Chain A
């Protein structure tokens, strides 16, 4: 930030706002006092920091992405299934968030957070919850201002990023994930599913179910892997592309389509349908 003689921002003189021309040209509309933008020179970093921390705590502390532009930048208006380590994903997400600016409405929620929200909701309705994290969950459900219901968590953000693999085994997890994805789709809002190379979202994943597999068959989304050797875009809008580098540290890539043999993606068939069990009100693990 360039400073003037008085030690304040050269662009705004310490006023923190810059006056700009009003944008609308409706006949007869007056904008009293004109229009303003927060001074980008002296407020951008702070505002973008606050927004990033709102989306995912401590993301701002993540190191800078040194390897150039992130492919995630092109996916903010799309659904995405991304595979990356926590470190890599944080670097890429920070890179995107800084460029998207202080008003970018994104939220990172782990599958554990989604479950907590769902439990909180059940607890409010008086349903007994049995879960390894029961005590903590009960405390949050009855007193927390952090999460009230699942819809409070998943509906507002324009982009919801779901971090998979945080929650331990729980039979309800696939249901909650499917509800989240379906609700987001219903609201026409974009969602990123983020799994890790060592815990891919496949049939042996805690959150996986045949219903999710069926949902994702029709869910229009991009597929990206971020590895130590670079980034591979495996599909765009459901169309798989050839993997040209052929060398990646991520061995197995799960796809739900029948596009096996394309690139290094290999197909894992959805498991056989099992007869559905009636849902019980009580959660047991």
Chain B
């Protein structure tokens, strides 16, 4: 309890306000109460402060407030709590869930005890207006109380009556208005996409489709890397296609392009200009063929940085299918994910790829029916994960050959008919995106992103992102020069283009 409270205010200049704000967001979604009265007072003050200022208070603010109110015992408690360890992100949520679980156990004991009293002697339970007696009243009482116990830790309602729930909605509305991060999902790191879609949100199924070799896995690996390293969020990644060691190598290669290593790369002679980042080739990492400078950089800086806990990077759990089992269903996936989540909550599930999941109904012989069932189950997974708490699920999907051929004629633009086997994909998915990378685009290190479906937003227009091929890192790229070129430069470039001949262009190529 103390560690939870300690993780809701800043005490040291090195405390990350963003992470503490996230802690606040996590706990404020629950109706958690601290057992100790003084702790509860501190928590009430933190809530008031956050509502007014949009961030958690510092220890000095808390102590000053309670000293002004002449509640020295409370300010003393705050001072004592500062010595507790700071817990952040997934660790905080896991600890919070455990505490909520403990409270629920106590509640179950109390409910069963009261039910026993009702059945045997008859009582007027707390919060009830009438006297209850007999086995029927006892069972009815248990059923009434069960809803509160079954509600997931995040205080997500499983059911409700909308007219009576206006106050609950108002709280949600004001919380969202106050905390600008609250309505946002898990960002991909590609600007054009994030600006429109605002990331993958809880209970959403996001299907990303592409033809073979068109960077499905690369996109999902980049996404998990962005979430972990730049947002400090944990990710659960089910790789049913690539073995764990391949995923791991790919992931490490992505980190070699990080801007934090610019000076080191330049010192080691791996990079020439500060604004032109370079990376280490995945192929060289795979085959252990790094030269001495690359090796020093990769082993001593990149890997060490990834394992340094001070960086507060999120954890990325890669899970591959059970080698002893020929089938892996959505139910298996859910069981495994929930087991990991109970120990270390994560913020999204990635599945690479959905067509490799087996259907649970063995009677389905048609591939399309199987795929349809898997997609329906994945949507249910997103909605019902961890007893209704929900989670964003990112499912990769294969485009069919006919769709690929059609897209070839349309400069890489797909339509929904290109999704292999499954017509359920377009129904169950909240968002469908696709990538295309072929021919000149591939040579130039460009990837076409497109949006085939969004449930409640205008889709983004197709755009080209950049890929740094050696490490397969995806980067935001603009194709217009708005705001980047003055008139003089623009005129010069247009003049050059007008005067260029085909022979000049061959030289350029």
Contact = CB atoms under 8 A, between A and B. Distances in A.
A170 B376 CA distance: 49
Which of B225, B409, B411 has the most chain A CB within a 10 Å cutoff? B409
Interface string B170-204: 00000000001100100101010011001000000
B496 interface: yes
B493 interface: yes
A99 interface: yes
Interface in A24-80: 24, 26-38, 40-42, 44-46, 48-50, 54, 60-61, 64
Contacts of A98: 494, 497-498
Interface string A136-157: 0000000001111000100010
A101 B481 CA distance: 9
B504 to A, nearest CB: 7
Interface size class of B (residues with CB under 8 A): 35 or more
B231 interface: yes
Contacts of B409: 145-148, 152
B316 to A, nearest CB: 15
A148 B496 CA distance: 37
A17 interface: yes
Contacts of A36: 466, 475-478
A17 B191 contact: no
Contacts of B483: 23
Nearest to A19: B275
A15 B276 contact: yes
B478 A37 contact: yes
Nearest to B408: A145
B299 interface: no
Nearest to A36: B477
A33 B505 contact: no
Contact of A49 (B258, B405, B475, B500): B500
Contacts of A42: 508
A12 B479 contact: no
Interface string A186-225: 0000000000000000000000000000000000000000
B394 interface: no
A156 B483 CA distance: 27
A136 B437 CA distance: 31
B104 interface: no
A32 B195 contact: no
Contact of B410 (A28, A64, A152): A152
A220 to B, nearest CB: 24
A152 B402 CA distance: 14
Nearest to A103: B479
A240 to B, nearest CB: 33
Given A24-B195, A61-B502, A45 B497 contact: yes
Interface string B398-434: 0000000110111101000000000000000000000
Contacts of B480: 101, 103
Interface string B234-274: 00000000000000000000000111000000000000110
Given A13-B272, A29-B187, A46 B509 contact: yes
A32 B230 contact: yes
A7 interface: no
A38 B181 CA distance: 32
A183 B406 CA distance: 20
B502 A60 contact: yes
Interface in B443-494: 444, 466, 473, 475-481, 483-485, 489-490, 493-494
A5 B250 CA distance: 36
Which of B273, B275, B411, B473 has the most chain A CB within a 10 Å cutoff? B275
B181 A12 contact: no
A19 B479 CA distance: 12
B499 interface: yes
Contacts of B413: 156
A90 to B, nearest CB: 14
A40 B189 contact: no
A95 B226 CA distance: 42
Contacts of B405: 145
B500 A45 contact: yes
A64 B484 CA distance: 26
Given A49-B500, A49-B505, A145-B409, A20 B485 contact: no
B277 interface: yes
16 contacts: A13-B272, A23-B191, A23-B483, A26-B184, A26-B198, A29-B194, A31-B189, A35-B478, A36-B475, A36-B476, A37-B481, A46-B508, A46-B509, A102-B479, A147-B409, A152-B406
The 10 closest A-B pairs by CB, nearest first: A15-B276, A103-B479, A35-B476, A45-B497, A32-B189, A27-B180, A19-B275, A33-B475, A24-B195, A36-B477
Given A37-B477, A45-B496, 15 more contacts: A16-B444, A20-B484, A23-B191, A26-B184, A27-B181, A30-B189, A30-B230, A33-B473, A40-B484, A45-B504, A49-B500, A50-B440, A54-B411, A101-B481, A152-B409
Interface of A: 1, 12-13, 15-20, 22-24, 26-38, 40-42, 44-46, 48-50, 54, 60-61, 64, 95, 98-99, 101-103, 145-148, 152, 156
